[in-house]
Amino acid sequence: MGKLLFSLFVLMPIVEIALLIEVGEQIGGWPTIGLVILTAAIGAALVRQQGVATLMQARRKMDNGQLPGQEMLEGLMLAVSGVLLLTPGFVTDALGLFLVLPFSRPVIARWLMKRAVVAGSTTQTSGFYQYQQRGDQGSTFEGEYEVKRDGRDPKLPPDNR
């Protein structure tokens, strides 16, 4: 974990700055800045469009009584890709674009879900899914209740009888 944090906060900015300088030398300073702003704008639009599509897909799964685990993970990936695309630099833009594309994101999400399964458990038998299944069997109880107060609890208002 320490090496990952080191690379994220020390090496990545160095790589980004070196690449920005190199591109700036090739095409000029203002075109480089324009290119960084353009990738941020295109990335934001892509994240928004893909986010709505992922939300609709999750909604369809929930309407069918399924847990939208992959869609939730894809939504998290879209949030990460949005941050990467808005961060100035070409390496972060490439990573963010890779996470936002509709043909690469589901593949990565499925791979991550397979790696995240703990000790043979599956997402189909999680507590939420089992609760949904029990709820579908018609476990509704009807009845009446009465609140009785004896005035000893200061948090409850006095009985108005």
pLDDT for 6-25, tens place per residue? Answer: 777 888 889 999 999 999 99
Domain containing residue 95: 39-116
Residue 99 · residue 77 · CB < 8 Å: yes
82 within some domain: yes
22 within some domain: no
Q: What is the pLDDT of residue 110?
A: 87
- What's the CA gap between 147 and 60, in Å, rounded? 41
C-alpha distances in Å from residue 155, one per residue of 148, 149, 159: 14, 11, 12
127 within some domain: no
108 within some domain: yes
99 within some domain: yes
- For 51, other C-beta atoms within 10 Å of its C-beta total 17
- pLDDT confidence bin for 129, thresholds 50/70/90: very low
Q: What is the pLDDT of residue 17?
A: 93
Count structural domains, the chain: 1
Q: Which residue has the higher pLDDT, 49 or 156?
A: 49
20 within some domain: no
Q: Return the minimum-mean-pLDDT range out of 41-50, 53-62, 76-85, 122-131.
A: 122-131
What's the whole-model pTM score? 0.65
140 within some domain: no
Q: Residue 115: in which H helix or E strand, if any?
A: helix 105-116
Residue 70 · residue 106 · CB < 8 Å: yes
Q: Which residue has the higher pLDDT, 72 or 2?
A: 72
123 within some domain: no
